[in-house]
Structure 1
Amino acid sequence: MKLELDKVYASLSKNHKIDVITLLSFGNIAGYSIPHFCYHRKLMLAGSCRACLCLVEKERKASPACATHARNNMHLLLGEKYTAMQELRENVLELILCNHPLDCPVCDQGGECELQDISHMFGNATSGYFYRKHCFENKNCGPIIKTAMNRCIHCTRCVRFAKDIAGFELWGLTGRGSSMEIGNYINSFFYSEVSGNVTDLCPVGALTLKPYSFKSRPWDLVHDFFIDLSDGLGSNISINSRGSFVYRIIPRINDEVNEDWISDKARFYFDGLLHNRITSPMNSLKAINWDFAFFLLKKNLFNSNFDGNEFRVFMNNNIECESMIIIKKFFNKLGISTFDNPIKVNNGFGNNYRFNKFTDIDDKLHVCLTVGCNLKDEASVLNLRYRKKYINGHSYFYNIGTFCNLNYAVYNLSSNMKAFTNFVEGKNSLTTVFVRKNNIFNHVIFNSSFFMDRGYYNCFDFFRTFLKQIKSESVVNILYNKPNTIGNLDINFYHRLPINPKKIKNLFLINTDNSHTLSVDHFNSDYLKNKFIVFIGSIATDLVKYANIILPDMYLFQRAGTFVNIEGRPQFVLPISKVFGKSRHDFDIFLSLGISLNLKLNLDGRDLPKLIERYLPHCQIRNKVQTHAFSSMVPSVHPFGVLHNVHFVPKIYSFYQSDDVSANSLIMSDICHVYNKSIKNRGIKNFYYFY
């Protein structure tokens, strides 16, 4: 296809979808900046702002570029050198600004306001409007969104996002003419796990973030690339910081992972990393130096009575692959192999425990069955993909577990084991859907928390065996809620042989939280009292009071390394803030401890990049999914067991405080308090509470 833009011919390659491309998209690809407000690439077309009007030769009136399909050999006039085009854009901007307040110096959108930029480029210096401006009342949308409705230009981005993407129809247009305004039909908060995205969509300062209000200006902040560590999706984010303090988190566009969205937990959980920090090594909660801490470890643990079978190592799946490899190598040198990971799956082959590619959901999905999952809380951004597929049609969703409102139609079978066995034995009509062999892409999702319990994890192998017997082409996936569980399984950092709890005398807790350790057999306060415990972490959790030695570790944003999301996509991040207190990196901690114990680890700081090349060769290509990748370590298989009479209930009971980091956040606590108070005051029954 070839078009003439300002008497300059531009053409598109055959890789683009010519049949659906608009003039606005064509201009962006060709390098022409066409102003617009209402258009967004992930929202349905509105064509209401009229800022993208363009002149087409041999047509009587101007056409909106966002809603006009490009045709071959069209002649467009876009430049400001044409008087008619210049007057058209000046008139449109003057109409938009006639009721807009002149409060740019106190607006939180200053520096990022699209209306500012477009007015500077295409607007007029003077205005012919001398009448009284209309004012509108601000709306109370909850503890996340701050409104200033006098700045609203009625682009309806927020309305379309709430209706089409989030599935929560809160806002709409009321009134006509000068009385038209955007508001909620009833006085209600925006109860959605992705509500903060409307502040990124708003082109002006009508919708901004309440926690970020009057904190900083965007030109004073440093924008660093990072990934979301609150779940296992690996959403791309941009951390805005100044010095060592993080002010806000906004999404980065990645169509293969999170598209343009992030969850509210990913947006605000950074506050939990700043409180209850461990800043110095401690012995029985008394501050000591690093040399004395290593001396105590050598005296109490690694002495002449050392026995590797008396050790048990717990490590959370929220640290990078490089640290996992170093930690495992350190303990293997000592003869300690009792690494504990509650996720009990067969990691001999990568496709046994990895999620399918997220883009396959948009292209191939036909039927989706979830077993004990609440996608809205455990993978909010992934749930938006499923909802988009449902809206586009020809997809059906079923659930075995408790009822969850996912903002789209889901047929709930039941929550007990009987519904699961009926499905596997062919007594449910849904079974026939999975028997089909006409290249239909069916999708089954198991909750990873069930693999921490002996009564649940046999269901996974039982279900996979059933699909092999019927020769189904369905894909069975596991939904993990930790950012680097796949990296842990690739490295094979866990122990599968039976452990005698009575023989264990020493515990290493590395970045562990309550959700990790409480799922392990015999792990309670009585079990901890008689053990020598070494806690390595950055936040003082409830486990610190049982620890004999506490070593401060760097927190998440201070670490550099590789994280592998649930689909097997390796992503490398760099640290974005300085070291706080006397905390050290895991590499430095175990290397110094190895030197004090005279261990030859043969490692230095320059070997970090080589660790991935040696132990995880399939992760060398960053941001690319390796669909068929074997583990570089020795695989292990757990025995197939029997099915118990259990109920498939999601293990996450609070979206905003699902782990120790988010539970430690003051912003998350305020959000939960405001939401719960509003729900109780309105007397809503059977509603999800944010505990």
Structure 2
Amino acid sequence: CPICDQGGECDLQDITLFYGPDKSRFSENKRSVTDKDLGPLIATHMTRCIHCTRCIRFINDIAGVEELGACHRGEHVEITTWVERALSSELSGNIIDLCPVGALNSKPYEYTARVWELKKTETIDVLDAVGCNIRVDTRGNEVMRVVPRLHEDINEEWISDKARFSYDGLKRRRLDRPYVRKDGKLAASDWQSAFNAIAERLKDRDPARMAFITGDLVDCETMVLVKELAATLGVTSVDCRQDGTRLGNGPRASWLFNTTIAGIEEADLCLLIGTDPRHEASLVNARLRKRHLQGGFRVLRVGEPVDLTYPVTDLGGGGQTLQQLLAGDLEESKLLEQAERPMLIVGQGALGRSDGESILGLARQIADRFGMISEEWNGFNVLHTAAARVGGLDLGLVPGEGGRDVSGILKGAADGEIDTVFLIGADEIDMEPLDKAFVIYQGTHGDRGAHVADVILPGAAYTEKHATYVNTEGRPQRAKLAAFPPGDAKEDWRILRALSEVLGRTVPLNDLASVRRRMEEIAPALADIDMVEAAEWGEFGRSAQPLKTPFPAAVGNFYATNPISRASPVMRECSALFVEGASAEATGTDG
């Protein structure tokens, strides 16, 4: 116990304390087992293992990746991977919580802190759009670890490895002071000088030549300030859809996961359209697998064939398959007709293309035709990949009259028609067209946006502020401050509020309470925290011929989807092992 990471939160230790004798005699030879290498995330001390097999059952039954098992018999049993390889599941870290002793521990956290030294903050994860409930443990101003928190309607008691292990990215490549580009080089500055540089640039500037793009990790309070500041400046080119999805022009139901994550367990058939839930939303995929194991559940897919850990019937790759399904030309159309509670999930891989609006329209028609919409059931679902997307759409961060979307802004910047661009945490767009524009980047890390910026304003990460996020279901949740931002970094909404004053266009929202009141005025659905409000159904999408090409993957590398995970050494190690290594094996170039 004195050197075990499980000390202080160990089931075996607690049972011994309350019920066990204080000494024992063991006359047999004690067993010694070689520690196993399970990869960069899980540290093993297998001599402590009591053979409860919880880890095996989790990996096989819930994660659906049969990579862990037991060999030998009796007291010689050892828990190991079958082929001496690292665990590749996106949920593998959960076996650390399940282990009742100290046999399985977090490798990045190992020997860094004791549980009684840590301050515990209950908050949410924002590295995907699921909104998993987590607890952030800090010592001083440093995040030491992230563990799951029970929420039966969202993540149950699990979280993804990205949510659990990418916290070391909060300590690296951080922007901790303003920067202003002088003579082609970024130089450290102060807030007043940075604001003055922006004010000088925007003086007498035509609003039609300015644009705002918000990123994937931006909170709702910040987006309220973006909306208000853009309105005072007269800017209509405002967009929260970095991935170019054709959403935001219809009723709220057109961009929500209307069935809800827990509601998956009531469905008897699921149609996947251009989505890979295993890598886009691991806990949604775990819920689909859970429903599969209960029986009486079919999964059909239109899109790229990937292993989802449960059986899937592939129908085709693109929009033409949806047309055939709608027309009843496929045998699987009968399965949809016979299903009592069918659902569909359309992903960003399908909606982010130029024909995204027609795909959305086809998905709506399929939902209407095959009885997915009724008073008791809404089987139409959009699976987002970004924590900020639903909140941005709810708040109306889409182009106004005469405004440009993200692709239009980038084209305008390349053509010289847009000369000033605000990137609010936006790092997932093509930065090359912005070379000619004056770029103001507000964010947390020295990532892609910071590299092209003329002025950098350092913001706060999700663990460093009180903020509101809306998950893919449309469920508003609150993130809470667990540690303070580094250096001179500030909460993002406060930065924009201060900037508006320097620009002479003061936004009259002076504190967090007033910002949230304004947020609820714009989007009343955001007032009920942790509640899902049923959205009204209506017409949306467009009737047009879809492209013949198959839907691409929305997430190329699960371990590098945002600035925090890209800055994480642990996530880089996972990426090299599971993504780049797997690619090398597939092509025969792994040596």
TM-score by length of 1: 0.78
Note the 1:159-238 alignment, pairs <5 A.
159-238=56-135
Alpha carbons of structure 1 residues 178 and 269: separation in structure 2 relative to 1, 3 Å: closer
Shift of 1:639: 5.7
Q: Aligned to 1:292, which of 179, 193, 210?
A: 193
Note the 1:258-407 alignment, pairs <5 A.
258-284=155-181, 285-301=186-202, 303=203, 305-340=204-239, 341=241, 342-355=244-257, 356-362=259-265, 364-407=266-309
Q: Aligned to 1:627, which of 534, 555, 566?
A: 534
Residue equivalent to 2:381: 477
Question: How many aligned positions are there?
Answer: 567
The code of the aligned residue for 1:647 comes to P
Query: Does residue 571 of structure 2 align to residue 671 of structure 1?
Result: no
RMSD value, Cα: 2.4
Alpha carbons of structure 1 residues 685 and 281: separation in structure 2 relative to 1, 3 Å: closer
Shift of 1:283: 1.2
Shift of 1:384: 0.8
Query: Does residue 321 of structure 2 align to residue 424 of structure 1?
Result: no
Q: Aligned to 1:548, which of 433, 449, 454?
A: 454
- Asked whether the 8 Å contact 2:136–2:145 carries over to 1, the reply is yes
Shift of 1:173: 3.1
CA deviations on 1:104-149 (whole Å, 9 max, x unpaired) are 1111111111111100100012323223211122211111111111
Structure 2: distance between partners of 1:467 and 1:556: 36
Query: Does residue 408 of structure 2 align to residue 504 of structure 1?
Result: no
Shift of 1:472: 4.9
Identity of aligned residues (%): 29
Structure 2: distance between partners of 1:493 and 1:200: 39
Give the stretch that moved more between structures: 573-582 or 416-425: 416-425
Query: Does residue 512 of structure 2 align to residue 608 of structure 1?
Result: no
- Asked whether the 8 Å contact 2:320–2:546 carries over to 1, the reply is no
- Asked whether the 8 Å contact 1:234–1:564 carries over to 2, the reply is yes
CA deviations on 1:401-427 (whole Å, 9 max, x unpaired) are 121111111111222443233222211
Structure 2: distance between partners of 1:300 and 1:403: 49
SS at match of 1:509: strand
Residue equivalent to 2:25: 128
Structure 1: distance between partners of 2:516 and 2:372: 41
Alpha carbons of structure 1 residues 135 and 600: separation in structure 2 relative to 1, 3 Å: closer
Structure 1: distance between partners of 2:55 and 2:348: 34
Structure 1: distance between partners of 2:457 and 2:506: 22
Shift of 1:638: 7.3
The code of the aligned residue for 1:554 comes to A
Note the 1:553-568 alignment, pairs <5 A.
553-568=459-474
Structure 2: distance between partners of 1:250 and 1:409: 30
Structure 2: distance between partners of 1:676 and 1:643: 31
Q: Aligned to 1:442, which of 335, 339, 342?
A: 342
SS at match of 1:106: coil
Alpha carbons of structure 1 residues 404 and 176: separation in structure 2 relative to 1, 3 Å: same
- Asked whether the 8 Å contact 1:353–1:477 carries over to 2, the reply is yes
Alpha carbons of structure 1 residues 311 and 113: separation in structure 2 relative to 1, 3 Å: same
Alpha carbons of structure 1 residues 638 and 162: separation in structure 2 relative to 1, 3 Å: closer
Alpha carbons of structure 1 residues 260 and 608: separation in structure 2 relative to 1, 3 Å: same
The code of the aligned residue for 1:325 comes to V
The code of the aligned residue for 1:610 comes to R
Residue equivalent to 1:486: 390
Structure 2: distance between partners of 1:154 and 1:573: 38
- Asked whether the 8 Å contact 2:423–2:441 carries over to 1, the reply is yes
CA deviations on 1:184-214 (whole Å, 9 max, x unpaired) are 3332221211111000000100011111111
Q: Aligned to 2:38, which of 129, 141, 144?
A: 141
Structure 2: distance between partners of 1:179 and 1:639: 64
Give the stretch that moved more between structures: 326-335 or 493-502: 493-502
Query: Does residue 354 of structure 2 align to residue 454 of structure 1?
Result: yes
Shift of 1:649: 2.0
The code of the aligned residue for 1:321 comes to C
Structure 2: distance between partners of 1:654 and 1:240: 27
Structure 2: distance between partners of 1:679 and 1:545: 30
Alpha carbons of structure 1 residues 529 and 176: separation in structure 2 relative to 1, 3 Å: closer
Residue equivalent to 1:41: none
Query: Does residue 364 of structure 2 align to residue 464 of structure 1?
Result: yes
Give the stretch that moved more between structures: 199-208 or 426-435: 426-435
Shift of 1:607: 1.4
- Asked whether the 8 Å contact 2:361–2:540 carries over to 1, the reply is no
Structure 2: distance between partners of 1:173 and 1:639: 54
CA deviations on 1:572-627 (whole Å, 9 max, x unpaired) are 12211113111122222222222222224222114134233322322222111111
The code of the aligned residue for 1:245 comes to E
Structure 1: distance between partners of 2:349 and 2:521: 31
Q: Any runs of at least 4 consecutive aligned residues in structure 1 with deviations exceeding 6 A, and if so which?
A: 635-638
Residue equivalent to 2:500: 594
TM-score by length of 2: 0.91
Residue equivalent to 2:486: 580
Structure 2: distance between partners of 1:621 and 1:643: 38
Structure 1: distance between partners of 2:490 and 2:539: 33
Shift of 1:455: 2.6
Shift of 1:677: 8.3
SS at match of 1:105: coil
Residue equivalent to 1:645: 548
Note the 1:1-16 alignment, pairs <5 A.
none
SS at match of 1:314: strand
Q: Which runs of 5+ in 1 are unaligned?
A: 1-103, 519-523
Structure 1: distance between partners of 2:48 and 2:146: 23
